Structure formats: C-alpha cells, structure tokens
Structure 1
Amino acid sequence: MTGQHHLRGVLLASLACMMWGISGVVASSLFTLNTHVTALWLSEVRMTTAGIVLLIIAQLIGAKPMRLWQHKNTAGRIVSYGLLGMVPVQLCYFEAVKFGNAPIATIIQFLGPFIISIYYFLFKHTKPTRPESVGMVIAFVGTFLIVTHGHVNALAISPVVLFWGFLSAIGVATNTLLPRPLFSTYGSLSVTGWGLLIAGLSLNFVKPVWQFHTTVTATEWTLVAIIIVFGTVIPFQMFAHSLAYILPTTATLLDAFEPLAATVFSVIFLSVQLTGFDLVGGTLIILAVMILSMNSRKLVNFFHRRRSTT
C-alpha cells in the first residue's frame, strides 16, 4: 500500500461524506415539504430500496451475495451490522434532523470518531496517533464553528435531539467497525447491500411501511430518490472502498465534510448567507485533511501493524 492509495482512500471517504451531507439537506427539505413524512418511513424506504439495488448489482457482477449466509459467524456479523450499524446511523440521524435540524444532528453525529478511538483504547489497547489526535481536534473545532457560529448558547439542544444524535454517533462507530472484516472476502456491494436490507426490513417490525397513510407528491418522491441514490447507494460504496486504504478513525474523521457540504448546498439552494465563522470552520476542516494526508506513510505502517495483530 502506498501514499497514493492512502490519498485515494481519503478522497473516497471525503466525497462519500459530502454526499451524506447533501442528503441531509434534501431530507430536511422533504420533512419541511411534507410534515407527515417520518424519519422511520424514510429510513425504511431508503434502506430497503438501496439494499435491494446493491444486492442485484452484486449478483449481476458475480459477487455471489448469498455466500455471506454460509457461515454462522459471518451471518451473525452481517445481522449485527444491519441492526447495530445501519439502523442508528440512518434512522437515528434522521430523527435528530426532524426533531432538531441538520447542523445540530451532524455535530452530535461527529462524535463517532471519538467513540472509535475510545473502543480501540479500551479493547485494542491502541492510543490514537498524533496526526489523528490533532486532526480530530481541528476538524471538531471547524465543525463547531460552522454549526454554531461560535455561540455556545445558540446550541439549544432538546433531550430528544441529544438522545437520537448520540445514538447516531454510536452508529457511525459500529457502522465502520462491524463490517470491515467482511469486505475483503465478500466485497462491499454484498456486505453493504445485506446490511441495508436487514436494517430496512427490521424497521418494518416497528411499523410496516404500508401502514403509513402518507400522500407523497412527485416532487417529494424525487427527493426520496436523490436520498436513495446519491445519499445511500453511491456514498456507502465509496466509503466502504475507502476502508481498504485508510484506518476507520481516519475515514470517520473525514465525516467533517458532511456539515461542510450541508452548509455549501444550503447557501446554493436555500439562500443561506455564509459568515466568517463558516469560512474559518471550512478552512479548519480542510487543514485537518491535509494533516492526515501528509502523514500517510506513518498511518499506512500503523495499519499494517494492526492488521497483522488481528
């Protein structure tokens, strides 16, 4: 693995996170246009549809997605991935967006990299590298400036938003860690497809999608389609591929691009005015990515050492 491969992983993860940021803006617009659309309904439709699409593609290209169910341990991990990874990172995030707003939900979800670092420290006895630590601090400060404009008191977070947001942050960690051992053997299409499908189908036990009596217009269905294709199918594959080149902590750190993308698209499509805090915050996020890229060789060697011990 070379520095060029590391850069490829950084770019893939960054673009994926930007697409997720855009899908958050689209979802927020959908909730505004139709107040009867719930986060549960949107998550069911999004994950079930995207999962089926990915599995069909996997079958067509010869990835044999049914192989995942031939071994008990693999089957258990993919079910855990769907229930403990996909559900919180999708449903809980949309709940936080609906009860609060996209920026608040995003900054809470950004705690995911810290949860991963805590996991590695407690269970793998591995401390974060210096670039990761510095990058986390800089990127978090940049994200904080974008979503708060420097005013701490402006973060009027209700308990329900904090609850859903924290669950989505845990989802970021589990969504990154749980499926990773499966990618090299079964491919990202099959793994992600089954994870999405399991998550989408499981939510129907809470309330089946056909029991939602909601009238959705053509415009609203277009927004749903954008969320499925550009906010789910494509970015999940890009993010999954990035994990072949970079560490989980590095990949999830790049989630800082999500609020940055959300801010830019809010300016373009919702006429939101950028302030000095937005510009400073965006600069800090880019700086964090540069720090990671400049230390690619050290991160790659660290990845090889960790892989050989696990």
Structure 2
Amino acid sequence: MKLNGGIFIEAQHKGLICIVLSAMGFGIMPIFAKIAYKGGITPETLLSLRFILSGIILFIYLRLSKVSIKVTKRDLMYLFLLGGVLYSATAIFYFYSIRYISTALSVLIMYTHPMMVALLSNIFDRERLTVQVLMSMTVAFMGLSMILGDSLVLKVNTFGILLALATAISYSLYIFISSRIIKKVPSLVATAYISISAFGGLVGLGLAQGNLSLNFDTTVGIPLVGLVFCSTIFALVFFLKGVEVLGATKSTIISMFEPVFAVVFSMLIFKETLSFLQLVGGIAVLSGAVMVMIMKEKVTEVSGGQEV
C-alpha cells in the first residue's frame, strides 16, 4: 500500500509539473508575439505561420506515433468551423490587443472567459448556477470592473480593451461549442485539424485586409520558433500529459498559472506595470475563475457526469 501510494504521489507531482510547464509555455506566447512585431511582421502573417507550422508538425507527430487521424465528415466540418472562425478570431483579437495595451492587462481581461462559459451553459444547456458559482462570478466581474474602470481613468487605449474583451467572448464561444460538438476526437488530433483550419481562416482574413505579407526582418525567426514549439507544441503536449494524470478540471484550474506567468514575463521583459486597482482587479478575476471551475467540478461529481 505504501509503495502504491508513493507511486501515486510521484505521478501527481509529474502531472503538476507538466501543467505548470504548459502554463509557462502558453504564458510566454504574447512575449514572443511582441518581440516578433518589432521585426515588422503583421499579426495575420505571424499567426498564419504559427498555425500552419504547428499543424504540419502535429500531423507528422501523430503519423510517427501511429495515431489515427481519421474523423467523421461531421466532425471534420465542425473542426474546420471552429478553427477557421472561432479560434482564428480569438487569436487575431488577442494578438492585436497586445499591440494597443499591455500584455498583463490583455491577459487578465481575457481570463473572464470561464465566467462567460458558465453563463452560456446556463442559458443554452440550462446548467444550474449555484449560489457559490454566482458568488464566484460576481467576484470575477467586480475585478473586471476595477480593471476597466482604472484603465479608463489612466486613459489606456480603449480599442485595445475592446479587443481583449472580444478575445474573451470568442474564446468562451469556442470552448462552449467545441466541448459539445467534438466529443470523440482525441485532443491532439482535433488541435492539428483546428490549427490547419485556423491557418486557412487567417490567410483569408489577411488577404481580404491586405495585411498578409512576408516582408519582415529575419529577427522574426526566433520568436516564431518560440511560438510554434514553446507556446504551441510543447505547451499542448505537456498539458495533455498532465490531464492524463490529474484529470481535465484539476489541470484547467492549475493552468490558471498561465496569466500569472504572462504578467510576470511582461513585467520582467517589457517593464510593463499595473496600477494597484488593476492588480487587485486581476487577482479578483483569477480567483473568481478558479472558484467557478472548482464549483463546476463539484457539481459534475455530484451529478455523476463527465467532462468532455
């Protein structure tokens, strides 16, 4: 029993380390983007290159791992819809927002998405909002009001704030819809298809707006490699490895370290700062998001349901 317990604890620790490394990889993503922008690349071009390279590498990895990439026509249609519309919209809103406001501010606003998902579940799935969940959501949205209120006083770029809010909305729609229509496709396979379809959506957007151009400095190469490997491939693989040990909900809660890493990295590298009220608001947003996920896990356990 002691031996089995020791193995279980060791596995839990490995799962925790995997999720923290994943959060670090995702958290440094906007840093790579901001560095790449200095080389003259547009968000549409940067994201298009990120997704096509990530998609190709993922398909090669799946092929070498002998994982079947076959999906039904229905699932394929939904995957391309999710990637080409919702995920590409989320990415472009986020990558544009950090051009107008600080990374720290953008990521904190974006992390109101768990509350938005809870609201969508209540409206469309009639998922009951418990008193605890409502209180958690209230804390988070009060935090958001602090962030936005102080940002207006400090004359932070309003367009950047709206883009960050659009990121949260589109990402919550992506999570809500994908968890309900893609139920039998392995996460890594789904991500490969979504990456390729997001590439298609972003190329179409870039061509329509005339913002797709390969006229940028070679200095973009290093942050692009960082985006593809650190913030996409490795971050995703570590997250999935952690989920295998800890489960989806616990892993998602631990992955809330991502905005913390993003804020810390932006402060260290770009010397970005938050006002006291924005910092308090950010803590409230993240606390509310964590509490919402914990409460939803308890409801799932009581109801005997399973997360997709």
Give the TM-score normalised by the residue count of structure 2: 0.75
Report the alpha carbon displacement of residue 226 of structure 1 after superposing the two structures with TM.
0.8
* Structure 2 CA distance for partners of 1:177 and 1:56, relative to 1, 3 Å: farther
For 1:271-310, what aligned pairs fall within 5 Å after superposition? 271=271, 298-302=298-302, 304-305=304-305
Q: For residues 127-142 of structure 1, what are the structure 2 equivalents within 5 Å?
A: 127-138=128-139
In the alignment, which residue of structure 2 is the partner of 1:88?
A: 89
1:6–1:246 Cα contact (<8 Å) kept: no
Is the Cα–Cα contact under 8 Å of residues 48 and 197 in structure 1 kept in the other structure?
Answer: yes
> Do 1:142 and 1:281's aligned partners in 2 also have CA atoms closer than 8 Å?
yes
Show the counterpart of 1:200: 199
Tell me the alpha carbon deviations over residues 264-296 of structure 1, each in whole angstroms, 9 at most, x when there is no partner: 113333345788668767866786687579769
What's the CA shift string for 1:170-210, capped at 9, x where partnerless? 23213323433677633211110110111112322233699
Give the distance between the partners of 2:241 and 2:177, measured in 1 at CA.
Answer: 15
Q: Secondary structure at the match of 1:27?
A: helix
Q: Aligned partners of 2:13 and 2:136: how far apart in 1?
A: 16
1:26 is matched with 32
Structure 1 residue 299, shift from structure 2 partner: 4.5
| Residue 74 (structure 1) shift | 1.1
Give the whole-Å Cα distance in 1 for the aligned partners of 2:14 and 2:77: 31
**Deviation (angstroms), 1:44:** 0.3
Question: Counterpart in 2 of 1:171?
Answer: 170
Query: Match for 2:94: what amino acid?
Result: Y
Aligned residue for 2:206, secondary structure, equals: coil
SS of the equivalent of 2:127 reads coil
Q: Paired residue for 2:52?
A: 48
| Alpha-carbon offset, residue 258 of structure 1 | 3.5
Deviation of 1:98 after TM superposition, in Å, equals: 1.8
CA contact 1:110–1:255 (8 Å) conserved in 2: no
- Structure 2: distance between partners of 1:286 and 1:22: 18
CA contact (8 A) 2:114 2:292 kept: no
**Residue type of the alignment partner of 1:124:** D
2:231 matches 1:224:
no
Task: Pick closer, same or farther for the CA change 1:211–1:89 going to 2, 3 Å.
Answer: closer
Q: CA deviation at 1:125?
A: 0.6
CA contact (8 A) 2:54 2:192 kept: yes
Matches within 5 A, 1:69-88: 71-88=72-89
Give the whole-Å Cα distance in 2 for the aligned partners of 1:123 and 1:296.
16
Structure 1: how far apart are the matches of 2:29 and 2:145?
A: 20
Shift of 1:92: 1.5
Aligned residue in 2 for 1:188: 187
Report the 3-state secondary structure (helix = DSSP H, G, I; strand = E; otherwise coil) of the residue aligned with 1:220.
helix
1:170–1:156: structure 2 CA closer, same or farther, 3 Å change rule?
same
Paired with 1:38 and 1:48, the residues of 2 have a C-alpha distance of: 16
Decide whether the 8 Å contact of 2:44 with 2:211 is kept in 1: no
What residue in structure 2 maps to residue 269 of structure 1? Answer: 269
Asked if structure 1 preserves the Cα contact closer than 8 Å seen for 2:83 and 2:198, the reply is yes
Q: What is the total number of aligned residue pairs between the two structures?
A: 296
Distance 1:115 1:274, change over 3 A: closer
Give 1:121's aligned residue.
Answer: 122
Mapped partners of 1:205, 1:18: distance in 2: 31
Return 165-174 or 205-214, whichever deviates more.
205-214
Structure 2 residue identity aligned to 1:29: I
Q: Name the % identity.
A: 17
In the TM superposition, residue 220 of structure 1 has moved relative to its aligned partner by 2.5
Unaligned runs of 5+ in 1: none
Query: Aligned with 1:305: secondary structure?
Result: coil
Contact 1:256–1:285 (8 Å) recurs in 2:
no
TM-score of the aligned structures, taking structure 1 as reference length: 0.74
After superposition, the CA RMSD in angstroms is: 4.2
Distance 1:7 1:155, change over 3 A: farther
Distance 1:271 1:177, change over 3 A: same
